[in-house]
Amino acid sequence: MTDVKRSALADALRERYLLERELGAGGMATVYLAQDVRHHRRVALKVLKPELAAVIGAERFLLGRRGMANTYRVPNLEQDLDFVGTNRLVQLAGVISLLSVAFSCAPASSPSTSAPRPIAVGACHALQPTSVGGPAAPPATIVLRWLGTANYEVTYKGKVVLLDAFIDRGPRNRPIGVAVKDMQRVDVILVGHGHWDHVADAATIARQSRAVVVGAASAIDVVRAAGLPLEQTRVVEGTGGELLQFEGFTVEPVLAHHSILLPDVLTKFREALTSVDSGPSQDEASAEAVIEARGSSDPTLGDRGTLAYLLTFDTGFRLIWLDSAGPITEAERSLMQRISRTDVAIVAYQGQYVADRQVAATFPLVKLFNPAVYLPAHHDKLAGLFLDIGLEPLFMAMRHDLPETQAMAPLYLSPVCLSAKPDQR
Protein backbone atom coordinates (compact mmCIF):
# COMPACT_ATOMS: atom_id res chain seq x y z
CA MET A 1 0.00 0.00 0.00
CA THR A 2 1.16 3.52 -0.56
CA ASP A 3 1.74 5.86 2.36
CA VAL A 4 -1.33 7.80 1.36
CA LYS A 5 -3.50 4.74 1.52
CA ARG A 6 -1.91 3.62 4.72
CA SER A 7 -2.65 6.97 6.23
CA ALA A 8 -6.24 6.68 5.12
CA LEU A 9 -6.28 3.21 6.61
CA ALA A 10 -4.92 4.53 9.89
CA ASP A 11 -7.62 7.17 9.96
CA ALA A 12 -10.33 4.67 9.22
CA LEU A 13 -9.26 2.35 12.00
CA ARG A 14 -8.26 4.90 14.58
CA GLU A 15 -11.20 4.33 16.90
CA ARG A 16 -10.43 0.64 17.18
CA TYR A 17 -6.78 0.12 16.26
CA LEU A 18 -3.65 2.24 16.22
CA LEU A 19 -1.27 1.08 13.54
CA GLU A 20 2.35 0.78 14.65
CA ARG A 21 4.22 -0.62 11.70
CA GLU A 22 4.00 -2.94 8.75
CA LEU A 23 5.02 -6.52 9.49
CA GLY A 24 4.88 -7.91 6.03
CA ALA A 25 3.00 -8.04 2.80
CA GLY A 26 1.89 -10.83 0.52
CA GLY A 27 0.05 -11.05 -2.74
CA MET A 28 -3.33 -10.52 -1.15
CA ALA A 29 -2.80 -8.57 2.02
CA THR A 30 -0.56 -6.48 4.20
CA VAL A 31 -0.12 -7.25 7.87
CA TYR A 32 0.39 -4.51 10.43
CA LEU A 33 1.31 -4.51 14.06
CA ALA A 34 -1.38 -2.51 15.84
CA GLN A 35 -2.71 -1.62 19.26
CA ASP A 36 -6.23 -2.82 19.95
CA VAL A 37 -7.57 0.28 21.68
CA ARG A 38 -10.51 -1.42 23.34
CA HIS A 39 -8.69 -4.44 24.67
CA HIS A 40 -5.35 -2.81 25.38
CA ARG A 41 -3.22 -5.33 23.61
CA ARG A 42 -1.14 -5.72 20.51
CA VAL A 43 -2.59 -7.51 17.56
CA ALA A 44 -1.64 -8.46 14.04
CA LEU A 45 -3.97 -6.70 11.66
CA LYS A 46 -4.33 -8.20 8.23
CA VAL A 47 -5.54 -5.78 5.63
CA LEU A 48 -6.85 -7.14 2.41
CA LYS A 49 -5.69 -5.30 -0.68
CA PRO A 50 -8.51 -3.04 -1.81
CA GLU A 51 -8.83 -4.43 -5.31
CA LEU A 52 -9.17 -7.96 -3.88
CA ALA A 53 -11.63 -6.90 -1.20
CA ALA A 54 -13.93 -5.72 -3.92
CA VAL A 55 -13.62 -8.93 -5.90
CA ILE A 56 -13.74 -11.73 -3.35
CA GLY A 57 -15.28 -10.10 -0.30
CA ALA A 58 -13.84 -9.77 3.14
CA GLU A 59 -15.39 -12.78 4.77
CA ARG A 60 -14.37 -15.22 2.11
CA PHE A 61 -10.84 -14.00 2.45
CA LEU A 62 -10.99 -14.42 6.18
CA LEU A 63 -12.08 -18.01 5.86
CA GLY A 64 -9.70 -18.88 3.11
CA ARG A 65 -6.43 -18.10 4.81
CA ARG A 66 -5.49 -21.16 6.73
CA GLY A 67 -1.88 -21.21 7.74
CA MET A 68 -1.59 -17.50 8.17
CA ALA A 69 -0.82 -17.91 11.85
CA ASN A 70 2.45 -19.52 10.85
CA THR A 71 3.19 -17.12 8.09
CA TYR A 72 2.94 -14.10 10.33
CA ARG A 73 3.93 -15.47 13.70
CA VAL A 74 5.56 -12.63 15.57
CA PRO A 75 7.56 -13.02 18.78
CA ASN A 76 5.92 -11.47 21.84
CA LEU A 77 2.74 -10.80 19.96
CA GLU A 78 -0.45 -12.27 21.24
CA GLN A 79 -1.57 -14.83 18.71
CA ASP A 80 -4.88 -13.40 17.70
CA LEU A 81 -4.98 -15.45 14.60
CA ASP A 82 -5.02 -19.11 15.36
CA PHE A 83 -6.59 -21.53 12.99
CA VAL A 84 -7.20 -24.74 14.83
CA GLY A 85 -6.12 -27.92 13.13
CA THR A 86 -4.16 -28.33 9.98
CA ASN A 87 -6.45 -30.37 7.82
CA ARG A 88 -9.62 -28.44 8.33
CA LEU A 89 -10.65 -24.89 8.58
CA VAL A 90 -11.89 -24.04 12.01
CA GLN A 91 -11.98 -20.67 13.61
CA LEU A 92 -12.84 -20.04 17.18
CA ALA A 93 -13.61 -16.38 16.91
CA GLY A 94 -14.19 -15.89 20.61
CA VAL A 95 -10.54 -16.74 21.13
CA ILE A 96 -9.28 -15.07 18.04
CA SER A 97 -11.07 -11.80 18.72
CA LEU A 98 -9.57 -9.75 15.96
CA LEU A 99 -8.79 -11.58 12.82
CA SER A 100 -8.83 -9.40 9.90
CA VAL A 101 -10.25 -6.17 8.73
CA ALA A 102 -10.63 -5.99 5.03
CA PHE A 103 -10.18 -2.49 3.87
CA SER A 104 -12.05 -1.18 0.91
CA CYS A 105 -9.64 1.53 0.07
CA ALA A 106 -10.86 3.29 -3.02
CA PRO A 107 -8.61 5.63 -4.98
CA ALA A 108 -8.76 9.16 -3.61
CA SER A 109 -10.27 10.41 -6.83
CA SER A 110 -13.23 8.07 -6.68
CA PRO A 111 -16.37 10.14 -6.26
CA SER A 112 -18.50 7.29 -4.99
CA THR A 113 -16.36 6.18 -2.05
CA SER A 114 -14.46 9.16 -0.83
CA ALA A 115 -13.53 7.68 2.55
CA PRO A 116 -11.98 4.31 3.29
CA ARG A 117 -14.33 1.98 5.06
CA PRO A 118 -13.43 -1.07 7.14
CA ILE A 119 -15.65 -4.07 6.54
CA ALA A 120 -16.72 -5.86 9.70
CA VAL A 121 -16.10 -9.59 9.83
CA GLY A 122 -19.67 -10.23 10.90
CA ALA A 123 -20.94 -13.29 12.69
CA CYS A 124 -17.49 -14.77 13.23
CA HIS A 125 -16.53 -11.78 15.31
CA ALA A 126 -19.76 -10.75 17.05
CA LEU A 127 -20.99 -12.22 20.31
CA GLN A 128 -24.57 -11.45 19.37
CA PRO A 129 -26.44 -14.50 18.12
CA THR A 130 -28.23 -14.25 14.81
CA SER A 131 -31.48 -15.17 16.53
CA VAL A 132 -31.47 -11.91 18.47
CA GLY A 133 -30.50 -9.74 15.52
CA GLY A 134 -26.78 -10.45 15.20
CA PRO A 135 -25.12 -10.87 11.82
CA ALA A 136 -25.93 -13.85 9.62
CA ALA A 137 -23.33 -16.50 8.85
CA PRO A 138 -20.78 -15.51 6.19
CA PRO A 139 -21.02 -17.33 2.83
CA ALA A 140 -20.09 -21.03 2.88
CA THR A 141 -19.78 -20.91 6.66
CA ILE A 142 -21.65 -22.63 9.47
CA VAL A 143 -21.68 -20.64 12.68
CA LEU A 144 -22.32 -22.42 15.98
CA ARG A 145 -22.84 -20.76 19.34
CA TRP A 146 -23.26 -22.46 22.66
CA LEU A 147 -26.16 -20.86 24.52
CA GLY A 148 -25.77 -22.71 27.81
CA THR A 149 -27.02 -26.14 28.92
CA ALA A 150 -27.48 -28.18 25.70
CA ASN A 151 -28.59 -25.20 23.59
CA TYR A 152 -26.69 -24.28 20.46
CA GLU A 153 -27.57 -21.82 17.74
CA VAL A 154 -26.68 -22.95 14.23
CA THR A 155 -26.74 -20.44 11.39
CA TYR A 156 -26.16 -21.13 7.74
CA LYS A 157 -27.22 -19.30 4.58
CA GLY A 158 -29.47 -16.93 6.49
CA LYS A 159 -31.28 -19.72 8.35
CA VAL A 160 -31.26 -20.01 12.12
CA VAL A 161 -31.71 -23.32 13.92
CA LEU A 162 -31.95 -23.60 17.68
CA LEU A 163 -30.90 -26.88 19.20
CA ASP A 164 -33.03 -27.00 22.36
CA ALA A 165 -34.66 -23.90 23.80
CA PHE A 166 -33.89 -23.38 27.47
CA ILE A 167 -32.79 -19.77 27.68
CA ASP A 168 -34.49 -18.31 30.74
CA ARG A 169 -32.82 -20.56 33.27
CA GLY A 170 -33.97 -18.96 36.47
CA PRO A 171 -32.40 -16.71 39.09
CA ARG A 172 -29.71 -19.06 40.39
CA ASN A 173 -28.06 -19.90 37.08
CA ARG A 174 -25.60 -17.77 35.16
CA PRO A 175 -27.40 -15.71 32.55
CA ILE A 176 -26.52 -16.77 29.04
CA GLY A 177 -26.50 -13.20 27.77
CA VAL A 178 -29.61 -13.32 25.62
CA ALA A 179 -33.25 -12.86 26.52
CA VAL A 180 -36.08 -15.04 25.25
CA LYS A 181 -38.07 -11.99 24.16
CA ASP A 182 -35.26 -10.94 21.82
CA MET A 183 -35.06 -14.27 19.99
CA GLN A 184 -37.21 -13.18 17.09
CA ARG A 185 -35.26 -14.69 14.22
CA VAL A 186 -35.47 -18.46 14.38
CA ASP A 187 -36.55 -20.82 11.61
CA VAL A 188 -36.39 -24.21 13.29
CA ILE A 189 -36.20 -25.42 16.89
CA LEU A 190 -35.03 -29.00 17.34
CA VAL A 191 -35.85 -30.34 20.78
CA GLY A 192 -33.69 -33.22 21.98
CA HIS A 193 -36.14 -34.25 24.67
CA GLY A 194 -39.01 -32.81 26.65
CA HIS A 195 -37.44 -32.14 30.05
CA TRP A 196 -37.80 -28.53 31.15
CA ASP A 197 -34.07 -27.83 30.88
CA HIS A 198 -34.35 -28.46 27.12
CA VAL A 199 -37.78 -27.32 26.01
CA ALA A 200 -38.96 -24.64 28.47
CA ASP A 201 -38.77 -21.67 26.07
CA ALA A 202 -39.53 -23.46 22.81
CA ALA A 203 -43.19 -22.43 22.64
CA THR A 204 -42.50 -18.76 23.39
CA ILE A 205 -39.65 -18.48 20.90
CA ALA A 206 -41.59 -20.35 18.22
CA ARG A 207 -44.65 -18.18 18.73
CA GLN A 208 -42.76 -14.91 18.34
CA SER A 209 -40.44 -16.04 15.53
CA ARG A 210 -42.85 -18.40 13.74
CA ALA A 211 -40.26 -21.17 13.96
CA VAL A 212 -41.20 -24.79 13.50
CA VAL A 213 -40.62 -26.98 16.56
CA VAL A 214 -39.46 -30.55 15.93
CA GLY A 215 -39.42 -33.18 18.66
CA ALA A 216 -40.67 -36.45 20.02
CA ALA A 217 -44.34 -36.62 21.00
CA SER A 218 -43.58 -35.95 24.67
CA ALA A 219 -41.72 -32.74 23.80
CA ILE A 220 -44.30 -31.55 21.29
CA ASP A 221 -47.03 -32.13 23.88
CA VAL A 222 -45.31 -29.44 25.98
CA VAL A 223 -45.37 -26.76 23.27
CA ARG A 224 -48.90 -27.69 22.21
CA ALA A 225 -50.05 -27.36 25.81
CA ALA A 226 -48.47 -23.90 25.83
CA GLY A 227 -50.70 -22.97 22.91
CA LEU A 228 -48.37 -23.38 19.93
CA PRO A 229 -50.45 -24.12 16.82
CA LEU A 230 -50.32 -27.62 15.41
CA GLU A 231 -48.96 -26.40 12.06
CA GLN A 232 -45.83 -25.11 13.80
CA THR A 233 -44.94 -28.52 15.18
CA ARG A 234 -43.51 -31.76 13.78
CA VAL A 235 -43.63 -34.97 15.78
CA VAL A 236 -40.82 -37.37 14.93
CA GLU A 237 -39.80 -40.78 16.24
CA GLY A 238 -36.27 -41.26 14.99
CA THR A 239 -36.72 -44.90 14.13
CA GLY A 240 -35.80 -44.51 10.47
CA GLY A 241 -37.20 -43.08 7.27
CA GLU A 242 -37.78 -39.52 8.50
CA LEU A 243 -35.96 -36.72 6.69
CA LEU A 244 -37.06 -33.12 7.13
CA GLN A 245 -36.11 -30.77 4.31
CA PHE A 246 -35.20 -27.16 4.95
CA GLU A 247 -33.58 -24.59 2.71
CA GLY A 248 -29.86 -25.43 2.71
CA PHE A 249 -29.98 -28.50 4.97
CA THR A 250 -31.89 -31.60 5.99
CA VAL A 251 -32.63 -32.91 9.46
CA GLU A 252 -32.75 -36.60 10.29
CA PRO A 253 -34.03 -37.50 13.77
CA VAL A 254 -32.36 -40.52 15.34
CA LEU A 255 -33.80 -42.28 18.37
CA ALA A 256 -31.36 -41.98 21.26
CA HIS A 257 -31.58 -42.76 24.96
CA HIS A 258 -31.69 -40.38 27.88
CA SER A 259 -28.84 -40.45 30.35
CA ILE A 260 -29.41 -42.86 33.17
CA LEU A 261 -29.43 -40.96 36.41
CA LEU A 262 -29.64 -42.86 39.66
CA PRO A 263 -32.50 -41.36 41.69
CA ASP A 264 -30.73 -42.03 44.95
CA VAL A 265 -27.59 -40.23 43.80
CA LEU A 266 -29.65 -37.31 42.49
CA THR A 267 -31.42 -36.92 45.83
CA LYS A 268 -28.23 -37.11 47.84
CA PHE A 269 -26.49 -34.68 45.54
CA ARG A 270 -29.32 -32.19 45.81
CA GLU A 271 -29.11 -32.44 49.59
CA ALA A 272 -25.37 -31.90 49.50
CA LEU A 273 -25.71 -28.85 47.25
CA THR A 274 -28.35 -27.37 49.52
CA SER A 275 -26.11 -27.81 52.53
CA VAL A 276 -23.36 -25.91 50.72
CA ASP A 277 -25.30 -22.97 49.32
CA SER A 278 -28.46 -23.05 51.47
CA GLY A 279 -30.79 -23.65 48.54
CA PRO A 280 -33.18 -21.26 46.87
CA SER A 281 -35.01 -18.46 48.64
CA GLN A 282 -38.79 -18.57 48.49
CA ASP A 283 -38.85 -16.20 45.50
CA GLU A 284 -36.17 -18.18 43.72
CA ALA A 285 -38.01 -21.44 44.38
CA SER A 286 -41.22 -19.97 42.94
CA ALA A 287 -39.43 -18.72 39.83
CA GLU A 288 -37.80 -22.11 39.35
CA ALA A 289 -41.11 -23.91 39.79
CA VAL A 290 -42.61 -21.87 36.94
CA ILE A 291 -39.73 -22.84 34.64
CA GLU A 292 -39.77 -26.48 35.66
CA ALA A 293 -43.49 -26.65 34.90
CA ARG A 294 -42.67 -25.94 31.25
CA GLY A 295 -41.42 -29.47 30.69
CA SER A 296 -42.52 -33.06 30.38
CA SER A 297 -42.40 -35.83 32.94
CA ASP A 298 -43.61 -38.46 30.50
CA PRO A 299 -42.22 -41.81 31.70
CA THR A 300 -41.49 -42.91 28.13
CA LEU A 301 -39.13 -39.98 27.62
CA GLY A 302 -36.04 -42.01 28.50
CA ASP A 303 -36.18 -44.59 25.74
CA ARG A 304 -38.75 -43.18 23.29
CA GLY A 305 -38.55 -39.42 23.76
CA THR A 306 -34.86 -38.61 23.41
CA LEU A 307 -33.52 -37.85 19.95
CA ALA A 308 -30.24 -37.10 18.30
CA TYR A 309 -30.49 -35.02 15.15
CA LEU A 310 -28.25 -35.27 12.12
CA LEU A 311 -28.11 -32.03 10.13
CA THR A 312 -26.72 -32.51 6.63
CA PHE A 313 -25.96 -29.26 4.83
CA ASP A 314 -26.16 -28.82 1.07
CA THR A 315 -22.36 -29.10 0.87
CA GLY A 316 -22.43 -32.54 2.48
CA PHE A 317 -21.23 -31.21 5.85
CA ARG A 318 -22.70 -33.25 8.72
CA LEU A 319 -23.48 -32.09 12.23
CA ILE A 320 -24.92 -34.42 14.85
CA TRP A 321 -26.30 -33.15 18.15
CA LEU A 322 -27.38 -35.15 21.18
CA ASP A 323 -28.53 -33.39 24.35
CA SER A 324 -28.31 -36.32 26.78
CA ALA A 325 -25.64 -38.97 27.28
CA GLY A 326 -27.34 -42.35 27.57
CA PRO A 327 -26.59 -45.82 26.25
CA ILE A 328 -26.03 -46.17 22.50
CA THR A 329 -29.16 -47.20 20.63
CA GLU A 330 -29.71 -49.38 17.58
CA ALA A 331 -30.87 -46.34 15.60
CA GLU A 332 -27.62 -44.50 16.38
CA ARG A 333 -25.55 -47.54 15.47
CA SER A 334 -27.36 -48.04 12.23
CA LEU A 335 -26.99 -44.36 11.27
CA MET A 336 -23.24 -44.50 11.83
CA GLN A 337 -22.92 -47.74 9.89
CA ARG A 338 -24.40 -45.80 7.01
CA ILE A 339 -22.41 -42.55 7.25
CA SER A 340 -19.30 -43.67 9.23
CA ARG A 341 -18.27 -40.17 10.33
CA THR A 342 -19.46 -36.65 11.00
CA ASP A 343 -17.89 -33.22 10.74
CA VAL A 344 -19.16 -31.95 14.07
CA ALA A 345 -20.62 -33.83 17.02
CA ILE A 346 -22.19 -32.03 19.95
CA VAL A 347 -22.82 -34.52 22.72
CA ALA A 348 -23.97 -33.87 26.27
CA TYR A 349 -21.50 -34.27 29.10
CA GLN A 350 -23.82 -34.30 32.07
CA GLY A 351 -25.52 -36.27 34.76
CA GLN A 352 -22.92 -38.52 36.30
CA TYR A 353 -21.16 -36.06 38.64
CA VAL A 354 -17.90 -38.02 38.70
CA ALA A 355 -15.57 -37.61 35.75
CA ASP A 356 -14.79 -41.30 35.24
CA ARG A 357 -18.47 -42.17 35.09
CA GLN A 358 -19.23 -39.19 32.87
CA VAL A 359 -16.47 -40.04 30.41
CA ALA A 360 -17.78 -43.61 30.36
CA ALA A 361 -21.19 -42.26 29.34
CA THR A 362 -20.19 -39.56 26.83
CA PHE A 363 -17.03 -40.88 25.22
CA PRO A 364 -18.58 -43.96 23.52
CA LEU A 365 -21.13 -41.68 21.84
CA VAL A 366 -18.45 -39.31 20.60
CA LYS A 367 -16.43 -42.26 19.34
CA LEU A 368 -19.46 -43.65 17.54
CA PHE A 369 -20.16 -40.32 15.84
CA ASN A 370 -16.49 -40.11 14.79
CA PRO A 371 -16.42 -36.34 14.32
CA ALA A 372 -13.74 -34.02 13.00
CA VAL A 373 -14.73 -31.56 15.72
CA TYR A 374 -16.34 -32.27 19.08
CA LEU A 375 -18.18 -29.59 21.05
CA PRO A 376 -19.50 -30.32 24.54
CA ALA A 377 -22.94 -29.49 25.92
CA HIS A 378 -24.81 -29.54 29.23
CA HIS A 379 -21.58 -29.43 31.23
CA ASP A 380 -22.43 -26.17 33.00
CA LYS A 381 -24.12 -25.61 36.32
CA LEU A 382 -27.84 -26.14 36.70
CA ALA A 383 -28.70 -24.81 40.14
CA GLY A 384 -29.60 -27.48 42.67
CA LEU A 385 -29.00 -30.26 40.19
CA PHE A 386 -25.66 -30.19 38.38
CA LEU A 387 -22.32 -28.53 39.00
CA ASP A 388 -20.00 -27.17 36.35
CA ILE A 389 -18.07 -30.25 35.34
CA GLY A 390 -14.52 -30.14 34.04
CA LEU A 391 -14.02 -31.30 30.48
CA GLU A 392 -10.37 -32.20 30.73
CA PRO A 393 -10.88 -35.93 31.48
CA LEU A 394 -13.06 -36.27 28.37
CA PHE A 395 -10.67 -34.26 26.23
CA MET A 396 -7.73 -36.33 27.48
CA ALA A 397 -9.57 -39.52 26.60
CA MET A 398 -10.26 -38.11 23.16
CA ARG A 399 -6.68 -37.04 22.59
CA HIS A 400 -5.60 -40.57 23.44
CA ASP A 401 -8.22 -42.57 21.57
CA LEU A 402 -9.54 -40.16 18.94
CA PRO A 403 -6.46 -38.16 17.95
CA GLU A 404 -8.06 -37.07 14.68
CA THR A 405 -10.89 -35.34 16.51
CA GLN A 406 -10.46 -31.74 17.55
CA ALA A 407 -12.16 -31.01 20.88
CA MET A 408 -12.99 -27.47 21.85
CA ALA A 409 -15.14 -25.86 24.50
CA PRO A 410 -16.57 -22.51 23.44
CA LEU A 411 -17.89 -20.00 25.95
CA TYR A 412 -21.50 -18.86 25.95
CA LEU A 413 -22.19 -16.81 22.80
CA SER A 414 -18.73 -17.19 21.27
CA PRO A 415 -19.02 -18.02 17.59
CA VAL A 416 -17.42 -21.16 16.27
CA CYS A 417 -17.12 -20.69 12.52
CA LEU A 418 -16.60 -23.70 10.32
CA SER A 419 -16.16 -23.96 6.63
CA ALA A 420 -19.27 -25.69 5.27
CA LYS A 421 -16.99 -27.88 3.20
CA PRO A 422 -16.91 -31.37 4.74
CA ASP A 423 -13.72 -32.51 6.39
CA GLN A 424 -11.63 -34.50 3.94
CA ARG A 425 -10.10 -37.09 6.22
Q: Which parts of this chain interact with Zn ion (CB under 5 A)?
A: 195
Count, in order, helices (H) and strands (E) of the chain. 14, 20
Q: What is the DSSP letter of 390?
A: -
Minimum CB distance to Zn ion smaller for 46 or for 195: 195
Using left for φ > 0, alpha for ψ between -120 and 50, and beta otherwise, residue 314 falls in alpha
The answer to whether the CB of 69 falls within 8 A of the CB of 85 is no
Minimum CB distance to Zn ion smaller for 48 or for 203: 203
The answer to whether the CB of 116 falls within 8 A of the CB of 90 is no
**Cβ of residue 132: shortest distance to Zn ion, in angstroms?**
25
**Cβ of residue 140: shortest distance to Zn ion, in angstroms?**
35
Beta-sheet strand order (sheet of 141-146): 90-92, 415-419, 141-146, 152-156, 159-163, 188-190, 212-215, 233-235
**Cβ of residue 259: shortest distance to Zn ion, in angstroms?**
7
Minimum CB distance to Zn ion smaller for 82 or for 237: 237
The bridge status of strand 141-146 relative to strand 29-36 is unpaired
**Cβ of residue 284: shortest distance to Zn ion, in angstroms?**
21
Minimum CB distance to Zn ion smaller for 130 or for 358: 358
The closest alpha carbon to 425, from 402, 408, 409, belongs to 402
**Cβ of residue 348: shortest distance to Zn ion, in angstroms?**
9
Q: Which residue of the chain is nearest Zn ion when measured via CB?
A: 195
E strand intervals along 72-199: 90-92, 102-104, 117-119, 141-146, 152-156, 159-163, 188-190
SS3 letters across 95-132: HHCCCECEEECCCCCCCCCCCCEEECCHHHCCCCCHHH
**Cβ of residue 91: shortest distance to Zn ion, in angstroms?**
32
Which residues lie below 8 Å from residue 410, measured CB to CB, with a gap of 6+? 92, 94, 144, 145, 146, 375, 416
Minimum CB distance to Zn ion smaller for 199 or for 373: 199
Q: What single-letter amino acid sits at 404?
A: E
Does the CA dihedral 371-410-96-184 come out positive or negative?
Answer: positive
- CB burial of 251-262 (b: ≥16 within 10 Å; e: otherwise) equals bbbbbbbbbebe
The bridge status of strand 406-407 relative to strand 371-377 is parallel
**Cβ of residue 324: shortest distance to Zn ion, in angstroms?**
5
In angstroms, rounded to a whole number, what is the distance separating the alpha carbons of residues 253 and 220?
Answer: 14
**Cβ of residue 393: shortest distance to Zn ion, in angstroms?**
22
The closest alpha carbon to 307, from 343, 336, 331, belongs to 331
Minimum CB distance to Zn ion smaller for 168 or for 423: 168
Minimum CB distance to Zn ion smaller for 195 or for 257: 195
**Cβ of residue 125: shortest distance to Zn ion, in angstroms?**
34
Minimum CB distance to Zn ion smaller for 246 or for 353: 353
CA 118 centroid distance within chain: 26
Minimum CB distance to Zn ion smaller for 49 or for 195: 195
Instruction: Please classify residue 15 by burial: count the beta carbons closer than 10 Å to its beta carbon, then call 0-12 exposed, 13-18 middle and 19+ buried.
Output: exposed
Alpha helices in 261-391 (DSSP H): 263-277, 282-292, 301-304, 330-339, 355-369
**Cβ of residue 194: shortest distance to Zn ion, in angstroms?**
8
Minimum CB distance to Zn ion smaller for 58 or for 213: 213
**Cβ of residue 303: shortest distance to Zn ion, in angstroms?**
12
Minimum CB distance to Zn ion smaller for 137 or for 347: 347
